[in-house]
Structure 1
């Protein structure tokens, strides 16, 4: 009875599902990834009512990868799966998003609250009456879990989950039981936008940290800045950019931070990854007497096998959760506010110029009469072809390491999964990124993935066609898992894959003849001709472009070779 009275008091009732999807619309989501399942079907009816587009993926894993790519371009994303079978298929992708700080709202259609309460023996369950087992699994890869089992708590739990997703830049999990979809909540809450502002630093602590940083900055003779992924994920790029421009300090990026910095700036110096660094970068960074590190993630692949040689005694670490100046830690002093104040108070600094990366093709490649496309030739040549605002996705493997040698034009968004490294990620991610780019008016989304990687998630080309997306897809045809070969099993069959007729796949997925352009290039001359093809290169070409890019099976970027050797050594250690 009390419950009924509370519902009657609502002046502007809206259904729980409508409330949820309208909140997602509010924070910038325009398309929802996922798959239908009987426990989420009624909820899906509310997606268009909230002004959202339903994507409809081929499987939940791909949908999770796509939501990840969408969030990296748009700032946040959403995926809907069904209880048990659906959500577990997405877990790998959601874990990757958690690992790499990508904000995804994962909505799971649940059996009704009555079915849960009675422990009914339903399909998609373990048959033991436990309806919380899957949410418990997801708790470890979510920064908030909201189980919408009570309509009077539903709106509050929804708001909290979306806010946590945004602020922590990590996935959240929302259960939506089938009988809760049409329960009423207070629609007047929607008139007040969610507060997505980061908590302000304590002014006294922040000012103290700023003064300490300025003291070390002014004492330094040859400081450098090193920008990494968490500057992107924790929304500190504006403050980072202002600091880099005003200070003029030589600035480098870690592999995961590729795309965080405008690479046309005169003080941009290239990629620092220990022994895998761009030419001249390692020497310059490691000789510095002060490293301003912004948003670092010091994982194995991000450091080329833990080959960083930077002393903590010469490092200032700026993060979302606090600041570390040499060996002194200041928890809770977030980088955004600190960077803003440091920039405002900078004054004159000692700046020693750094290396100037370019897209010049190495002399030995220019002089070589060999027509075969090599990794060393291709990635700098790609840098000459890329355009401002491109979205560039590289799969874990040769592409991910090769892109280190590409100097970007301004405002390029780079997407890769350096830490989680799930093979097949990039093709699914490309679908979500291309959709987000289309919504933002960005004209070119470009994918580089290996043939082995592509075979894991090839179905998402179908989803791209269905949603009328037109990315440029390069399949590096090099007969298998080259990155794995360099770690172990050089010529073993487990690193081989069946050779597909890749460029025929779009048609197998239902593409009309005039909706796709397909190519096969196996020589440098053919790549040059392709890059000069105006229809292929244009952002206005309303066709998906699909390229078989033939490379030698045993060729890899230098950085991959050294990192793979380090990985093999680590794997062999007792």
Structure 2
């Protein structure tokens, strides 16, 4: 850049552009309009223009899961509060979202003017204080001189901790000038080094446990992906040849075609062979665990050993001993240097469970079931796909499928906000466009969840995200809720929609709509080579029986109902 000075607003977007964040999500509002002007000054950057702030937050979350960082812009008060649900989900599930809020001018704040979008009490920091509970860090900018440093700090913390950060920018500051030379120094995204002595104790203890183990396993969870440790996990499996399993949230944390991959462990809801393989282990190396109820089969892990090592993004735990600050990325790399020498020479890699993916032949007229869908779909997936599954039947059903190499799996098992995936698909599809226009983004969402955030399909159409497949599982309402409680209750009903009219309603240009309801129709669809080519946005409505659900969801629902009914 030849300019000696640039506006603060442009500085922000140049910093994001340097980190390959080239789509900005959000909704315009009068306190952020001048800031949004600066998006168009950056070559290759686009303003998504979402349908509402909640959807924009979901989209930013999906984008961050593909690219490692995203940004969403809202306006003070009414806009930012509509984002809270999405930002809370990103906080819970470790997603790096820069939450930029356009604030009233510094002068208006100082005078405590009774502005619109306020609570009418002159308190301009109240919403910032709300977000502190769901943000890794925050900055409420008031001084142009420190503003570039604060922006850099917020971006760095978002990336390092993989959590949302809050950045409040007053409307009068975004047009003030800052030195453009500041952009020449990249943001330092390196992790703080682990304490050498603590890390050495961790490594030596882990190596000792490995040397004594005869039946060890590796268990991969969500934070292995979120905190960029997938390559370390793969190297650990290659070096040790230990069996490796994932949790539902950890699915795609290891290439599932790896010969040592044994399946998905969900406690008591696991396949019997997977349950036995994990729970009979005499050493468990757990990477990036998020031990929520739906991720663990309602906390039904039943390890027969106390030899459990947990590698986390900011600490390591061995049995009952916790080592704060021993971050897993550096610790795993250090372990990899010598781990082979620690394995007992008599160790023989045991066979791992193998999942049957092909159903028994069924007449083509057989009504489609989730059990058939989730095993058959594995044959249609391709390497590099982004596969997004909604909370409910889809998130549980996908556990039964097998992902190809280099798949990105997206689900919100911990936060579990219904409708999250429609917005997340928008963000993921736009990220995929930037990486490779032919990279497929595949959504599986229930007909009930779709109704909460359906407007974001409009944004997919606006940006011609023709790499997107929208599978709508139509089981006439909230099946997961019916399974937990109220099978015939009207509160689990929804108003039926003509779902296949949504793409023309949202003015899609190149699109295809398909409805299937039998085994034969599904088989024909997945055998169609033209259907596999991502050259148009597609909606596929999958007609299912009202109470049809994956077997593990039926079991989980019973556990959830028991938990909800327990007295103190």
Q: Does TM, scored on the shorter chain, surpass 0.5?
A: yes
Contact 1:231/1:260, CA 8 A, preserved across alignment: yes
Out of 217, 222, 231, which is 1:224 matched to? Answer: 217
Residue of structure 1 equivalent to 2:388: 393
Equivalent residue number for residue 446 of structure 2: 450
Shift of 1:533: 1.8
Contact 1:81–1:107 (CA under 8 A) maintained in structure 2: yes
> Separation in 2 of the partners of 1:204 and 1:511?
59
Q: Which residue of 2 aligns with 1:550?
A: 543
Hey, what's the Cα distance between the residues in 2 that align with 1:524 and 1:351?
Answer: 42
Give 5+ residue unaligned stretches, structure 1. 1-10
Equivalent residue, structure 1, for 2:160: 167
Name the counterpart of 1:147.
Answer: 140
Q: Distance in 2 between matches of 1:337 and 1:121?
A: 51
Per the alignment, do residues 374 and 279 of structure 1 end up closer, same or farther by CA in structure 2, a change over 3 Å counting? farther
- Is 1:379 aligned with 2:380? no
Q: TM-score, normalised by structure 2?
A: 0.96
- Give per-residue Cα distances to partners, 1:102-125, cap 9 Å, x unaligned: 000011111111111111111111
Deviation at 1:306, TM superposition (A): 1.1
Conserved 8 A contact 2:209-2:307: no
Q: What SS is found at the alignment partner of 2:520?
A: helix
Q: Which residue of 2 aligns with 1:478?
A: 475
**1:412-441 CA-partner distances (Å, limit 9, x unpaired):** 100000000000001110000001011111
**2:460 counterpart residue number:** 464
Equivalent of 2:429, from 426, 429, 434? 434
Q: State the Cα distance separating 1:536 from its structure 2 match.
A: 1.4
Match of 2:119 among 117, 126, 137: 126
Compute the displacement of 1:367 (Å).
5.2
Does the Cα contact within 8 Å between 2:241 and 2:349 map onto a contact in 1?
Answer: no
Q: Say whether residues 1:58 and 2:51 are aligned partners.
A: yes
Which position in structure 2 is the counterpart of 1:4? none
Corresponding residue to 2:195 among 199, 202, 223:
202
Contact 1:278-1:404 within 8 A present in 2 as well: no
Name the CA distance, whole Å, in 2 between partners of 1:495 and 1:61.
23
C-alpha separation between the residues in 2 aligned to 1:247 and 1:108? 47
Q: Given the alignment, which residue of 243, 263, 271 partners 2:236?
A: 243
* Alpha-carbon separation, structure 1, partners of 2:70 and 2:500: 30
Alignment of 1:244-283 (within 5 A): 244-283=237-276
SS at match of 2:110: helix
Is 1:90 equivalent to 2:83 in the alignment?
A: yes
Tell me the equivalent position of 1:340. 333
SS in 2 for 1:353: coil
Distance 1:464 1:367 in 2: 36
Partner of 1:149: helix, strand, or coil? coil
Task: Report if the CA contact (8 A) 1:15-1:181 is conserved.
Answer: yes
The partner residue of 1:76 within 57, 69, 72 is 69
Distance between the aligned counterparts of 1:12 and 1:569, measured in 2? 65
Superposed CA offset, 1:503-534 (max 9, x none): 1111111123xx10100001010011111222
- Are residue 315 (structure 1) and residue 308 (structure 2) matched? yes
Q: Is the 8 A contact 2:472 2:540 kept in 1?
A: yes
1:8 maps to none
- Partner residue, 1:529: 524
- Checking the alignment, whether the CA contact within 8 Å between 2:464 and 2:508 is kept in structure 1 is no
Aligned with 2:504 (options 501, 504, 507): 507
**Which of 307-316 and 221-230 deviates more?**
307-316
Quickly say closer, same or farther: Cα 1:369–1:20, change in 2 above 3 A: closer
The CA distance in 2 between the partners of 1:174 and 1:312, in whole Å, is: 45
Equivalenced residue count is 558
Distance 1:532 1:375 in 2: 19
For residues 4 and 304 of structure 2, the distance between their equivalents in structure 1, rounded to whole angstroms, comes to 59
